[in-house]
Amino acid sequence: MEMTPEENGYLEREGAGTGTLGKAMAVLEAVATADRPQRFTDILRSVRQPRGTLHRLLGHLVEEGLLVQRGDLSYEPGLRLLKLAYRSWSGNRFRDIAAPYLLRLHEMTGETVHLGVLRDTEIIYVDKVESRQTVRMSSQIGKASPAYCTGIGKAALSSLPEPEVERIAARIQFHPFTERTHRSAAALLAEIEEIRRQGHAFDREEHEAEICCVAAPIAVPEHELVGGISVTGPSYRVSTTQLAGWSADVRKAANDIEEELRIRLGPGRGGA
């Protein structure tokens, strides 16, 4: 795959201010967040690093057990990376504290319940209780989704000060996942105002067709924790009326999680 002069110039400019660790992290993220094993050319397009640099980084990451090269020469996360991820999830106090409330909502609704944290313009799912129904969600723990078109994402954004939400919205590239996805910062900000008034958010098939949810924010600013909790289901089974009927229970779960986080983490005792 040949690079154009413009692309080579871009790589030189980007590489000048990026350290080896940052480049390696970009490669790890490209492989770990992909939906399938990544070939060299896939990673090259994603991270936009010089071929030689990428070859060396991939070699080092394979040697360290962070990546594995398959028989077809594609790459996937290695056991060492998965072990580190497991240790991170198992030690996450936010997840541990919230777990009983997720189970309670799941038992009440029978649908999928998600817990997520806001990271810049994305929501990272940190826990999930799967629906008892035969049709299930494609979401995965550790997976990132855009905040602007997910219930948890919009709920989390609503808990931030308005100037901060405006700064985040200005950085978002509004990709239309469905015909109901927000196309602009103005549309998103208008809905955020509505969410602040109601105390909960909806995903009305904005990220995935036929998937909807109701969500509420969880925010503990003193521990730099902003996220949310949601109940999610397919639109043919879960109506807008049903979601609205669950909203009070979702808000209560979010409030209870917030209160317990403040009690158990305490002032000045680090984050989740």
Task: Tell me the pLDDT band of 272, cut-offs 50, 70 and 90.
Answer: very low
Q: What is the pLDDT of residue 6?
A: 36
Nearest residue to 46 (alpha-carbon basis) of 29, 63, 62 = 29
Mean pLDDT, rounded, for 14-19 = 48
CA distance 101 to 105: 6
DSSP string, 74-108: -EEE-HHHHHHHHHHHHT-HHHHHHHHHHHHHHHH
Task: Tell me the pLDDT band of 143, cut-offs 50, 70 and 90.
Answer: confident
Mean pLDDT, rounded, for 131-147 = 73
Mean pLDDT, rounded, for 47-73 = 91
Residue 268 has pLDDT above 60, yes or no: no
CA distance 239 to 18: 48
Task: Tell me the pLDDT band of 131, cut-offs 50, 70 and 90.
Answer: confident
Task: Tell me the pLDDT band of 139, cut-offs 50, 70 and 90.
Answer: low
Residues 156-194 pLDDT 10s: 999 999 999 999 999 999 999 999 999 999 999 999 999
Token pair 């855009």 in the structure block, residue: 146
Encoding tokens for residue 144?
């990132």
Q: Where is pLDDT greater, at 128 or 1?
A: 128
Positive/negative CA dihedral, 163, 259, 197, 227: positive
**What is the identity of the amino acid at 47?**
V
What stretches of the chain show up as alpha helix (H) in DSSP? 5-16, 20-32, 40-47, 51-63, 79-90, 93-109, 151-158, 162-171, 185-198, 240-265
Average pLDDT, the chain: 86
Q: What is the pLDDT of residue 7?
A: 39
